[in-house]
Structure 1
Amino acid sequence: METREYTEDIDFKKYWLILKRRWLPATTVFVFTVSLATAFAFLKKPTYEAEGRLLFKKQNTTSALVTEAGAKIGQLEPLNVLNTPLDTEAEIVRSEPLIQETINSLKLKDKKGDPLKTIDFLKQLTVKGIKGTDVLQISFKSKDPQEAAKIVNKVMSLYREKNILNNRAQAAAAREFITKQLPKTEVNVRQAEAALRNFKEQNNIVALEEEGSSAVKAIAELDSKKAQTQAELEDASARVAAFQNKIGLNSRRAMTLNSLSQSPAVQQVLIELQKIEGELTVERTRLQDENPRIINLESKQAALKALLQERVGQVVGSNQQVSGENLQIGELEQKLTAELVNAEVQRLGLANQVSFLSRAQSAYRQRANILPRLQQGQRDLQRQVEAAQSTYQILLKNLQEVQIAENQNVGNASLIAAATVPEKPVGTRKIIILAAGIVAGSLLYVITAFLVDLKDPTIKTAKEVRELFKYTVLGMVPSLKKKVTFRSKKLERIVPQLPVRDNPHSVISEAYRMLQANLKFLSPDQELKVIAVTSSVSKEGKSTVCANLAMAMAQLGRRVLLIDADLHHPMQHHIWDLTNAIGLSDVIVNQAEFGMAVREVMDNLDVLPSGVIPPNPLALVDSKRMAALIDNFSKDYDFIILDTPPIVLVADALAVGKMTDGILLVVRPGVVDTVSAAACKQFLVQSGQKVLGLVVNGVIVENEPDSYFHHAKAYYKEDASTPKMLTAKAPKNSDRF
């Protein structure tokens, strides 16, 4: 049994090409980030940190020795088992009142000379507990080491003062509370005793046990009666459901429809409406909707529908909608409806009886439940009397203890280490900041490159072209890179270049010769004579490919006719520097002869310009005259190339493609986007076009790791360095296509 190996499809070359392709914005972000880190590292002033420590005790030892109440005042206890008292005290140290008092005492200023803000102070203050101890560490960072020590000592001093005052305030608050509660507690004792006495008088409690047994007997009898009535109710509900299933309506709906079916006013309008609808159906079979007869009948129909709805509302007494098929019911349905109403009345009566029995049963149970509560209430009142008396005694004792604790002057925190002036600065080293800047810049480089690449919807490489179209790649034409001025770039976009003529020994020229060779051997059984060259969108270089391919074929001795069939934006007359006064459009409409319109641009190569641009180009190229011309041209020429418009923009290329031996699709990475390419592929498939293959134009060699142009460049450089030998010119028509 064979074992399958599964590998993750991670294309590292693709990611590397993205980083190379978007190097400019990514490098800008990288340099900016590293520059910021460098500036921050060298401009940052040294920072000094001073620290002090406070020791906390769970309770005041002195207060615990004096009184029990004094030991509880100021005691540190967490509310949550996950927290510690030190966490709470740390937040108190960071509290805004204490921080603001520190700022005011030391007259701290910011860089502008204004009083330092609390939020800026807290950024430099650190308060944390030392793990495993009851020690709280307080530290402060500042550019001035002496200021840092003063601030820490001041914060600890103010905190200890507030802690002592807080403990004394707790004792004073407890004393005031007890003093206020004593008179109230005495009153509560008297009220509890009076409440117990009133409870016994008001409820007349004499024989609660006998009353309870009689209540239980009555509840049992009501349970039996309620069960019997419930069974009868279920039987009535079943009959109602059976009638509803037969007629398909509930009781209220059935009564409503019965009233409507017996209403002469409703039935008269309904009959008239059905008559008008019948006439309208017949008239629509022979008349248009705009006919006055149809419009009149529709108006009558709408008026009758409104009148019908109005009379239905008068009968039913509401504005509910009722369909026309439900306005007429038969005699049998009327009988079933009457029986349904009777059954519903019986069901409602039994339901009311069950409800009455339930209420009576609930009343007895409520009374039976009251009896235990009365006994419980009597016991509760007795306990309240005892509790009130006990509370009164405790308050008297605690009042004396709190008065003693209030006069003490102790706290929970003690100073174990005062802050000293730091000698060495703290903070991150410059090399660490620079390293962090380089790491952050590298990450931002990658992120920027991928974000910029994601925003570009165009196809980037020839590999993506092959994966998207899945057609045979017949040729790859590298990009022509020349350093030209802005004006020359603008001119180049208008008039494509002819490297096969101007630079016959270049890599681009050989790419076109490779394309014509692939076309020759594409179909060994059937000779290709007529092809249509098109693209997905404009500016992909289809006209340039047509011109250079035609020239490459003509140089081999074949008679080639290049037809500019792009009657929207023709380009061939610009490429060959021809006039476009007459051309293909004139020949199609018989306003000019072919011999007058065609131009010989070089040996074995004739060019037929587009001619005058017609108002409807598709009507000309998709005509029988166009097909006949192509047949005639194929008899006189060895090869015919038609330069057609982009497929996504106009339908001319699809029409012309059916008249040829196949379509050659030109795709330029960096120009066509994936949406347009997918649409082009869909149009070709739906129209049943024969696609010969792809020509990937404008290939950037640096973006194509799988391209053979790397070796081609080295080969042609080596070839250029060797002396050129004279070669015999191939005779014409020696290698027919």
Structure 2
Amino acid sequence: MELKDYLLALRERWWLVVTMVLLGVGAAVAATAMAPKVYEAQTELFVAPDTGTTSAELAQGSSYVLDRVKSYVRVIDRELVLGPVIDDLDLDTTVADLSEDVDANVVEETVVVQITARADSPAEAAALADAVATEFRENAAQLEPQRGGDGGSVVRVTVIDSAREPESPVSPQPVVNLALGLLLGTGAGVAAAVMRQALDRRVRGEDDAKELTGVPMVGQLPVDLVTTRAPLALGEHLVGPRAEALRQVRTNLQFLDLPSARRSYVITSSLPGEGKSVTALSLAATLAEAGQRVCYVEADLRQGAAAHYLSLEGAVGLTHVLIGAAELEDVLQPASTNLDVVLAGAVPPNPSELLSSDAMDSLLHRLEADYDVVLVDAPPLLPVTDAAILAKRCRGALLIVALGRKAVDRQELTDAVEILRTVDADLLGFVINKAPRRGPNRSHTYMPYGGESTTARHAVPRTPRQSMKKALQSP
């Protein structure tokens, strides 16, 4: 992954980073609130030689004490000192446990011993530190040889700073805990966002689609829930950013292959649910809006949905024409100005055989002769082979690539393209559908003045031709 990929991961999954930060800070707050408070008190002892009167004797005694004082700190947290402390303070603990709460160290290059004691309250911490210091003073004499004259100790231990009750606990530390929670939460959030981005195999935008298909993008349609409603708004009744995006697709479609005389295009997708049928119908209406005579052919004989979107009669359609049970004129229905549609009709037992028949080839040639543009709404490529068969018989295919939560997988898009190339069908380009309004992969469409919404106007009432009645009544 490059730097831009990491930035894209953070931008697309910022909510994951924020969630982890909040969890980290929340955990720090909870840990701080639940942790027992620990107070720390400290006392200092001065160890000096208690022998000699001359300068030489004092110097020798100081050198002796400086060397010995390092050994004293090893005694302070032992049973010799802590055992009597437990008895004096009537503590319910053991020497081993109490030694964890008592530390002793020598101030560097001095004979000052610092004793630090920790307890659950300020008073207990100060009392423990003073008790350890007192007990050490009483035992220090037993650790050293006696003077020859009066039998006294050669060292003297003096308390130079008694323990004071601390004002605040040393643990927990709210600021440190919150900073640590913030740091860990941020790190975990960034790691989770990058990992999810790396493991996310969905097509995320135009760059991914171009890389996988090797063809140009014909257009990018923003997500619009209104387009899934029936009856579908067509022509002048389709407004808003999606309408502008469709007009851009219309313009780009005219320049895909100027020398070609064929004007029939297959509209397909890799998987169901990517919006190919709605896109094909909307594109057909947009082409008709520009004055071209357009025919929409619903060649998805398994799961046709155009009759629902257009509120038209769908009992008779393409299937009946291909098996010779109806004439083309009997099933053609007007959807809007300059736009006729051929619906799928009844579901046949052999859709692939019908779509690959000579009758289908003849029908396409006839429609190309009668109309300026023919849009063939074919089934998805991966479940069945119908779209590949039709794309070979038409000028080529336009592949609908949906973004969002149900975006096609990168491997699935690659497989769909490979299916077309296996039969030598031309993939003319792809159309991004359901592009987000915001974010790095947002749809770059023209917004009407005043931020007009994409809500469709009232649909044009549609009446099937009288010949449809004749077709329905024919055996």
More helix by share: 1
1:684-736 superposed Cα distances (whole Å, 9 cap, x missing partner) = 33333211111011111312368633xx22xx226979xxxxxxxxxxxxxxx
Which residue of 2 is the match for residue 49 of structure 1?
40
Give, in angstroms, the shift of residue 636 of structure 1: 2.0
Give, in angstroms, the shift of residue 132 of structure 1: 5.3
Whole-angstrom distance in 2 between the partners of 1:688 and 1:123: 79
Which residue of 1 is the match for residue 122 of structure 2?
145
Task: Answer yes or no: is the 8 Å Cα contact 1:54–1:413 preserved in 2.
Answer: no
Task: Answer yes or no: is the 8 Å Cα contact 1:86–1:136 preserved in 2.
Answer: no
Q: Secondary structure at the match of 1:658?
A: helix
Whole-angstrom distance in 2 between the partners of 1:18 and 1:98: 60
The correspondence for 1:689, drawn from 425, 429, 432, is 425
Q: Secondary structure at the match of 2:245?
A: helix
Which residue of 1 is the match for residue 348 of structure 2?
614
* 2:436 maps to amino acid: I
* 468-477 vs 584-593, greater mean Cα deviation: 584-593
Whole-angstrom distance in 2 between the partners of 1:584 and 1:101: 103
Is 1:29 the counterpart of 2:20 in the alignment? Answer: yes
Whole-angstrom distance in 1 between the partners of 2:95 and 2:344: 78
5 Å-filtered alignment, 1:172-191, equals none
Give, in angstroms, the shift of residue 509 of structure 1: 0.5
Q: Secondary structure at the match of 1:717?
A: coil
* 1:22 maps to amino acid: R
Distance 1:431 1:505, change over 3 A: same
Give, in angstroms, the shift of residue 54 of structure 1: 7.0
Q: Secondary structure at the match of 2:300?
A: coil
Whole-angstrom distance in 1 between the partners of 2:99 and 2:309: 73
Give, in angstroms, the shift of residue 40 of structure 1: 6.4
The correspondence for 2:308, drawn from 554, 558, 574, is 574
The correspondence for 2:164, drawn from 417, 421, 442, is 421
Whole-angstrom distance in 2 between the partners of 1:101 and 1:591: 110
* 1:546 maps to amino acid: A
* 1:480 maps to amino acid: D
Give, in angstroms, the shift of residue 585 of structure 1: 2.3
5 Å-filtered alignment, 1:22-421, equals 22-37=13-28, 47-52=38-43, 89=74, 93=77, 106=89, 108=91, 126=103, 130-131=107-108, 137-154=114-131, 420-421=163-164
Whole-angstrom distance in 2 between the partners of 1:517 and 1:641: 15
Distance 1:135 1:520, change over 3 A: same
Distance 1:502 1:541, change over 3 A: farther
Is 1:537 the counterpart of 2:271 in the alignment? Answer: yes
Whole-angstrom distance in 2 between the partners of 1:708 and 1:133: 75
The correspondence for 1:642, drawn from 373, 376, 398, is 376
The correspondence for 1:509, drawn from 243, 258, 281, is 243
Whole-angstrom distance in 2 between the partners of 1:19 and 1:31: 16
Task: Answer yes or no: is the 8 Å Cα contact 1:477–1:512 preserved in 2.
Answer: yes
Is 1:10 the counterpart of 2:3 in the alignment? Answer: yes
The correspondence for 1:702, drawn from 423, 438, 445, is 438
1:457-479 superposed Cα distances (whole Å, 9 cap, x missing partner) = 32223333233333101111112
Distance 1:416 1:601, change over 3 A: same
Which residue of 2 is the match for residue 474 of structure 1?
218
Task: Answer yes or no: is the 8 Å Cα contact 2:130–2:162 preserved in 1.
Answer: yes
Which residue of 2 is the match for residue 331 of structure 1?
none
Structure showing greater radius of gyration is: 1
Give, in angstroms, the shift of residue 514 of structure 1: 1.2
Q: Secondary structure at the match of 1:702?
A: coil
* 2:394 maps to amino acid: T
Is 1:520 the counterpart of 2:263 in the alignment? Answer: no
Q: Secondary structure at the match of 1:625?
A: helix
Which residue of 2 is the match for residue 240 of structure 1?
none
1:326-371 superposed Cα distances (whole Å, 9 cap, x missing partner) = xxxxxxxxxxxxxxxxxxxxxxxxxxxxxxxxxxxxxxxxxxxxxx
Is 1:652 the counterpart of 2:386 in the alignment? Answer: yes
Whole-angstrom distance in 2 between the partners of 1:558 and 1:26: 51
* 1:29 maps to amino acid: M
Which residue of 1 is the match for residue 53 of structure 2?
none
Whole-angstrom distance in 2 between the partners of 1:665 and 1:593: 30
Which residue of 2 is the match for residue 717 of structure 1?
449
* 2:306 maps to amino acid: Q
Task: Answer yes or no: is the 8 Å Cα contact 1:499–1:506 preserved in 2.
Answer: no
* 1:93 maps to amino acid: D
Which residue of 2 is the match for residue 172 of structure 1?
none
* 2:215 maps to amino acid: Y
Distance 1:38 1:575, change over 3 A: same
Structure 1: give runs of 5+ residues left out of the alignment.
Answer: 1-7, 58-75, 78-84, 110-114, 169-407, 483-491, 722-737
More strand by share: 2
Distance 1:108 1:10, change over 3 A: same
Distance 1:542 1:150, change over 3 A: same
Structure 2: give runs of 5+ residues left out of the alignment.
Answer: 49-66, 145-150, 454-475
Task: Answer yes or no: is the 8 Å Cα contact 2:205–2:441 preserved in 1.
Answer: no
Task: Answer yes or no: is the 8 Å Cα contact 2:78–2:95 preserved in 1.
Answer: no
Task: Answer yes or no: is the 8 Å Cα contact 1:565–1:610 preserved in 2.
Answer: yes
Task: Answer yes or no: is the 8 Å Cα contact 1:540–1:667 preserved in 2.
Answer: yes
Q: Secondary structure at the match of 2:3?
A: coil
1:87-108 superposed Cα distances (whole Å, 9 cap, x missing partner) = 9939x9389x998996687455
Whole-angstrom distance in 2 between the partners of 1:531 and 1:456: 32
Which residue of 2 is the match for residue 365 of structure 1?
none
Give, in angstroms, the shift of residue 524 of structure 1: 1.9
* 1:691 maps to amino acid: L
Provide the identity percentage.
26
The correspondence for 2:10, drawn from 19, 24, 31, is 19
Whole-angstrom distance in 2 between the partners of 1:611 and 1:642: 14
Which residue of 2 is the match for residue 217 of structure 1?
none
* 656-665 vs 141-150, greater mean Cα deviation: 141-150
Q: Secondary structure at the match of 1:551?
A: helix
Aligned residues: 426
The correspondence for 1:674, drawn from 405, 410, 425, is 410
Distance 1:618 1:433, change over 3 A: same
Distance 1:660 1:94, change over 3 A: farther
Give, in angstroms, the shift of residue 554 of structure 1: 1.4
Which residue of 1 is the match for residue 331 of structure 2?
597
TM normalised by structure 2 equals: 0.73
Whole-angstrom distance in 2 between the partners of 1:125 and 1:566: 82
RMSD across aligned positions (CA): 4.4
Distance 1:596 1:158, change over 3 A: farther
Is 1:558 the counterpart of 2:292 in the alignment? Answer: yes
* 1:425 maps to amino acid: S
Task: Answer yes or no: is the 8 Å Cα contact 2:41–2:166 preserved in 1.
Answer: no
Give, in angstroms, the shift of residue 678 of structure 1: 2.4
Whole-angstrom distance in 2 between the partners of 1:694 and 1:511: 14
Give, in angstroms, the shift of residue 519 of structure 1: 0.9
* 2:419 maps to amino acid: F
* 1:717 maps to amino acid: Y
Which residue of 2 is the match for residue 295 of structure 1?
none
Q: Secondary structure at the match of 1:471?
A: coil
Task: Answer yes or no: is the 8 Å Cα contact 1:163–1:411 preserved in 2.
Answer: no
Which residue of 2 is the match for residue 446 of structure 1?
190
Which residue of 1 is the match for residue 466 of structure 2?
none
Task: Answer yes or no: is the 8 Å Cα contact 1:561–1:637 preserved in 2.
Answer: yes
TM normalised by structure 1 equals: 0.49
* 2:242 maps to amino acid: I
Distance 1:447 1:598, change over 3 A: same
Whole-angstrom distance in 2 between the partners of 1:459 and 1:412: 81
* 2:211 maps to amino acid: E
Q: Secondary structure at the match of 2:301?
A: coil
